[in-house]
């Protein structure tokens, strides 16, 4: 395991550069890093699924200034826009919802309202998702896929680890906003980076299994939490710094 730690630490050092974000190595953070607006950055994260080059192409096509326009203009400008599971109505609705929410409160404050309960990242995330649905007053398959559902809870109203998805795009957004280095944006200062959970997609899931960092076979929130706990053995205060390294290790087939 010391060899794995050395490999990951080397990759973190080598990857901690904005040179890692380019059209040759596309990532939604390439677009998100151009902005300091937490709502624009969240749009970049939520649409961050599928082939990386197509994600960046779609994000580049969006006019994020529409978040500051009236809803009639949003409807007109986004009438022909769609992305994979989201039709134009879904895309228009998320823009209009974020526009309304932006006039009410900051995403940071909404997150903190939940997070301050036992410094729980999951409570903060659940509070954000529920607030978006409250403001949207809209439901469709594409919209639900984009935003994700509120987290499932047990009979004691505790958020379940088993039975919930890893919420990869949301965890990626929180990484961007809370960590601060040459890659991540560090725009939120009230959340401790040690409380982050790794943004686990199926790709990182398989890489982590091959590196013996994760024994669990089920792709779910429990696996994301277990992997995060394992990475805390390498860096207790900043375990998610290894996320980008794990992603690139698999993508570039460095150890396979």
User: 3-class SS at 175?
Assistant: helix
Predicted local distance difference test score (pLDDT) of residue 86: 98
Predicted local distance difference test score (pLDDT) of residue 255: 60
Among the residue ranges 37-46, 215-224, 241-250, the one predicted with the least confidence is 241-250
Q: Cα–Cα distances in Å, from 127 out to 27, 48, 103, 149?
A: 27, 21, 17, 11
Phi, then psi, of 185 in degrees rounded to 5: -90, -30
Q: Is residue 78 part of a domain?
A: yes
Q: Is residue 208 part of a domain?
A: yes
Number of domains in the chain: 1
Q: Is residue 256 part of a domain?
A: no
Question: Please, are residues 111 and 120 in contact by the beta-carbon 8 Å criterion?
Answer: no
Predicted local distance difference test score (pLDDT) of residue 244: 86
Q: Nearest CA to 195 among 163, 229, 166, 233? A: 229
Global pTM value = 0.95
Instruction: Give the residue, 136 or 16, on which the prediction is more confident.
Output: 136
Among the residue ranges 40-54, 89-103, 212-226, 236-250, the one predicted with the least confidence is 236-250
Query: Which residues, 6 or more positions from 179, have their beta carbon under 8 angstroms from its beta carbon?
Result: 185, 186, 193, 196, 238, 240, 241
Q: Is residue 31 part of a domain?
A: yes
- Taking the C-alpha atoms of residue 26 and residue 17, their distance in angstroms, rounded to an integer, is 14
- Taking the C-alpha atoms of residue 175 and residue 32, their distance in angstroms, rounded to an integer, is 12
For 108, how many CA atoms within 13 A lie in the half-sphere containing its CB? 14
What are the tokens at 246? Answer: 């794990």
Predicted local distance difference test score (pLDDT) of residue 129: 98
What are the tokens at 161? Answer: 């680890």
Q: pLDDT tens digit string along 203-216?
A: 899 999 999 999 99
pLDDT above 80 (res 253) = no
pLDDT above 90 (res 158) = yes
Question: Please, are residues 119 and 195 in contact by the beta-carbon 8 Å criterion?
Answer: yes
Predicted local distance difference test score (pLDDT) of residue 15: 82
User: 3-class SS at 173?
Assistant: helix
Predicted local distance difference test score (pLDDT) of residue 3: 85
- Residue-averaged pLDDT of the chain: 94
Q: Is residue 28 part of a domain?
A: yes
- Taking the C-alpha atoms of residue 91 and residue 114, their distance in angstroms, rounded to an integer, is 27
| 122-148: average pLDDT | 97
| Domain limits for position 232 | 2-251
pLDDT above 90 (res 254) = no
- Taking the C-alpha atoms of residue 183 and residue 20, their distance in angstroms, rounded to an integer, is 8
Q: Is residue 32 part of a domain?
A: yes
| 8-17: average pLDDT | 84
Q: Cα–Cα distances in Å, from 248 out to 11, 84, 232?
A: 9, 24, 20
- Taking the C-alpha atoms of residue 54 and residue 27, their distance in angstroms, rounded to an integer, is 10
Q: Is residue 124 part of a domain?
A: yes
| 109-113: average pLDDT | 98
Q: pLDDT tens digit string along 43-99?
A: 999 999 999 999 999 999 999 999 999 999 999 999 999 999 999 999 999 999 999
Q: pLDDT tens digit string along 119-131?
A: 999 999 999 999 9
pLDDT above 80 (res 252) = no
pLDDT above 60 (res 256) = no
């Amino acid at each position: 395991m010391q060899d794995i730690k050395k490999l990951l630490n080397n990759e973190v050092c080598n990857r901690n550069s904005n040179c890692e974000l380019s059209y040759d190595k596309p990532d939604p953070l390439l677009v998100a890093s151009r902005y300091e607006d937490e709502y624009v950055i969240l749009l970049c994260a939520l649409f961050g699924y599928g082939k990386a080059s197509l994600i960046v192409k779609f994000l580049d096509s969006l006019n994020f200034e529409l978040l500051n326009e009236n809803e009639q203009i949003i409807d007109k400008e986004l009438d022909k826009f769609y992305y994979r599971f989201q039709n134009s109505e879904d895309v228009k609705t998320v823009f209009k919802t974020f526009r309304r929410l932006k006039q009410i409160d900051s995403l940071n404050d909404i997150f903190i309202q939940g997070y301050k309960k036992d410094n729980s990242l999951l409570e903060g995330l659940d509070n954000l998702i529920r607030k978006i649905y409250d403001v949207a007053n809209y439901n469709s398959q594409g919209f639900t896929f984009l935003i994700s559902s509120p987290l499932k809870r047990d009979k004691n109203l505790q958020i379940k680890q088993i039975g919930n998805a890893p919420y990869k795009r949301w965890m990626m957004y929180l990484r961007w906003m809370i960590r601060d280095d040459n890659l991540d944006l560090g725009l939120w200062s009230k959340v401790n980076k040690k409380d982050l959970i790794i943004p686990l997609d199926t790709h990182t899931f398989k890489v982590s299994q091959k590196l013996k960092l994760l024994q669990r076979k089920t792709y779910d929130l429990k696996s994301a939490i277990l992997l995060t706990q394992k990475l805390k053995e390498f860096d207790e205060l900043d375990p998610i710094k290894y996320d980008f390294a794990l992603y690139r290790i698999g993508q570039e087939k460095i150890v396979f």
